[in-house]
Amino acid sequence: MNQKNIELIYTINHYTTALMKIWSDEFPHRISISALLVLGELRDKGPQKQSDMAHFLNVTPGAMTNIATIIVRENYAERIYDKNDRRITRLAITAAGEIALKEASELDTRVNTDVLGELTEAEKVQFLELFNKLNRKIHL
């Protein structure tokens, strides 16, 4: 690996770690970004099966069970049982989950306005294009 590749990986990791620290310091709810993504999906698409959420997040069913357990325990979501087949359960967002998402959105706006405000619109487009290119390569 050449020096520029090492420096690039370090810089991306440093940026991500710093951003996550800001989030963990300022976000009042003790749930993960993955849990927030699940809540957003539940808000936007309605109740969903855990297997569909695992596919959406690209995580194992076991990891999704852990996320679901936490968001249900903390009352951000609830399990709904299918009336025709009780083996089928779906997750649905609760009012507390809606509040958490609203607060996450407000924090996201504040943090990203501050951090990404350092970039010009052209730099934002270039940044996004570069990360999308890398993401396409990783997800082959």
Task: Give backbone dihedrals phi and psi of 77, rounded to 5 degrees, phi first.
Answer: -145, 165
Q: State pTM to two decimals.
A: 0.78
**pLDDT value at residue 104:** 95
What pLDDT score does 41 carry? 97
Structure tokens at 125: 């487009």
**Domains of the chain in sequence order:** 3-138 (1.10.10.10)
Structure tokens given for 56: 């959406």
pLDDT single digits (tens) 72-112: 999 999 999 988 888 889 999 999 999 999 999 999 888 88
Task: Give the model confidence (pLDDT) of 116-136 as tens digits.
Answer: 889 999 999 999 899 889 888
The pLDDT, as a whole number, for residue 112 is: 84
- pLDDT given for residue 131 in this prediction: 86
Per-residue pLDDT at 95: 98
pLDDT of residue 140: 54
Query: In this predicted structure, what is the pLDDT of residue 113?
Result: 86
Run of H or E including 56 = helix 50-57
Taking alpha carbons only, the member of 102, 108, 118 closest to residue 19 is: 108
Least confident of 24-33, 38-47, 50-59: 24-33
Q: How far apart are CA 53 and CA 67, in angstroms?
A: 10
**Which residue in 92, 96, 90, 91 sits closest to 75, CA to CA?**
96
Mean pLDDT, the chain, whole residue set: 92
d(CA 140, CA 137): 6
